[in-house]
Amino acid sequence: MKHHRIRVSEFGWGEGAFSSSLKRRLLHPKCFAIRLLPQREGWSAARLGGLMQRFLSGLRDGVGFDILLISIAMLFLIAMAGLPLVYNVLMSFQQVDMFTLGSFIRPFAGIQNYIDVVRQPEFWLVTRNTAVFVFFSMAGQFVLGFALALFFAQKFPGAATIRGLFLVSWVMPGLVVGAIWSWILAGDFGVLNAILKSLGIIQSNIFWKSDPSVSIWAVIIANIWLGLAFNMLLLSVGLAGISRDLYEAAELDGANAFQRFWTITLPMMRSTIGAVLSLGLIGTLQQFDLFPAITEGGPANTSTVAQYWSWQMSFQLYDFAKGATISVMMLVLVLFASIIYVRSTRHEVRG
């Protein structure tokens, strides 16, 4: 009760401004909502000042402050992500050319853009490349990342430090990574060919970047290296969350190392694995920097993937409608992955 009385005076209303019965009602906790409503009568200067003060005190110690914090983030998101997204989707249903580029209202095209994109001669090649790129990048990142996470979960001197060093690959900009891998993968002087030859795995140089049959693999190899550390880190966190007692109990119950991994580690990591795979899918579909740095989508589009194609359409061929259409198609895919991600984090099992 005391709390409410203080509030009323803080609002700047004189105690005498209310009839005593009204005051009693307003001071009652259940009538809190009524107090927050503006008075019906005209706006006097005192009342306006009171409103101002109420607003400020709400900011200082009430829900108002939370709303203020959220609204900053929301405004940013709407302006920087929401509107461009809507604009992009809108554009995929419009006829866009160089002359209507600046206007917002353009002739409606229905699904003509989508039909055009699918009819492009390179569409199925790009789709296949994208599928290969996404699947093998994710598989490589996940399997190697999991193996490394398991390795560094063992207790040996320097484990944490060396694991930390692996993060270097994650910190480096994609373009730089691409440039370095471009050198490593170079056909005639690349270090990868030199190593493979000296190990006797290959007899003659593989022209990673210019051979149409392997060019997509050049980018996949670089991408696996780039995403490895992130996968390892998230999976390490998941592994660390499993109590050692469980492994000891399983060991005493008769489980060997493989059975412990299969019956304890994997099911306990379910939500982490779901998150890693979904984020991996998003990250791989976002991967752009490596393409201009290593193959530029070539030769003959054999290493072009959807995200690079979309960029080529929009910013090299200035066919913004098709570029937008391709990116909307990808958006649907990412949305699907996000739903899986959100659902997998909902099924947390930690006892």
Partner 1 sequence: MTAQIELKNIEKHYGSFHALKNVSLTIDKGSFVALVGPSGCGKSTLLRSIAGLETISSGELSIAGKTMTGVPPRHRDIAMVFQSYALYPHMTVEENLTYSLRLHGVGKAEAKAKAAEVAQTTGLGQLLPRYPRQLSGGQRQRVAMGRAIIRNPKAFLFDEPLSNLDAALRVQMRKEIRALHDRLGATSVYVTHDQIEAMTMADWVVVMRDGIIEQQGRPLDLYDHPVNRFVAGFIGSPAMNFIEGKIASDGRAVNLVGGERIPLARQAEPNQPVVAGLRPEHMKLATGTPTFHFPVGNVESTGSATYLTSADGHLQLVQSERSTVSVGDRVGVEIDPALIHLFDPQSGKRI
In whole angstroms, give the CA distance from residue 224 to residue 226.
Answer: 5
What is the closest distance, in whole angstroms, from the C-beta atom of residue 253 to partner 1 in the complex? 4
Contact 294, 182 (CB under 8 A): yes
Q: Mark the segment that binds partner 1 (CB under 8 A) among 93-101, 109-117, 169-177, 255-263.
A: 255-263
Does 157 help bind partner 1 (rule: CB under 8 A)? no
Does 158 help bind partner 1 (rule: CB under 8 A)? no
What is the closest distance, in whole angstroms, from the C-beta atom of residue 237 to partner 1 in the complex? 17
What is the closest distance, in whole angstroms, from the C-beta atom of residue 267 to partner 1 in the complex? 4
Does 61 help bind partner 1 (rule: CB under 8 A)? no
What is the closest distance, in whole angstroms, from the C-beta atom of residue 265 to partner 1 in the complex? 11
Q: Report phi then psi at 37, rounded to 5.
A: -80, 145
Complex with partner 1: residue 66 or 248, whichever CB lies closer: 248
Q: Mark the segment that binds partner 1 (CB under 8 A) among 9-17, 148-156, 248-256, 330-338.
A: 248-256
Does 267 help bind partner 1 (rule: CB under 8 A)? yes
In whole angstroms, give the CA distance from residue 291 to residue 289.
Answer: 6
What is the closest distance, in whole angstroms, from the C-beta atom of residue 88 to partner 1 in the complex? 41
Number of H helices, E strands in the chain: 20, 0
Does 44 help bind partner 1 (rule: CB under 8 A)? no
Does 252 help bind partner 1 (rule: CB under 8 A)? yes
- Compose the 218-247 pattern: x for residues touching partner 1 by CB under 8 A, - for all others: -------------------------x-xx-
Give DSSP secondary structure letters for 61-88. HSHHHHHHHHHHHHHHHIIIIIHHHHHH
Does 343 help bind partner 1 (rule: CB under 8 A)? no
Structure tokens at 255: 């489980």
Does 248 help bind partner 1 (rule: CB under 8 A)? yes
The 3-class secondary structure across 284-326, one letter per residue, is HHHCCCHHHHHCCCCCCCCCCCHHHHHHHHHHCCCCHHHHHHH
What is the radius of gyration, based on Cα positions, of the chain? Answer: 30
Q: Report phi then psi at 116, rounded to 5.
A: -60, -45
Cα separations in angstroms, 6 against 11, 34, 45, 304: 9, 16, 22, 68
CA angle 101, 107, 113 (to 5 degrees): 80
Cross-strand bridge partners of residue 108: 94
Does 259 help bind partner 1 (rule: CB under 8 A)? yes
Does 262 help bind partner 1 (rule: CB under 8 A)? no
Contact 314, 325 (CB under 8 A): no
Binding residue for partner 1, selected from 256, 286, 316, 345, defined by CB under 8 A: 256
Complex with partner 1: residue 60 or 350, whichever CB lies closer: 350
Does 263 help bind partner 1 (rule: CB under 8 A)? yes
In whole angstroms, give the CA distance from residue 177 to residue 212.
Answer: 22
Contact 216, 125 (CB under 8 A): no
Q: Mark the segment that binds partner 1 (CB under 8 A) among 16-24, 174-182, 253-261, 279-287.
A: 253-261
Does 253 help bind partner 1 (rule: CB under 8 A)? yes
Looking up tokens 């917002």 gives 104
Complex with partner 1: residue 44 or 259, whichever CB lies closer: 259
For partner 1 (CB under 8 A), the number of binding residues is 21
Residues in the site for partner 1, rule: CB under 8 A? 243, 245-246, 248-256, 259, 263-264, 267-268, 270, 349-351
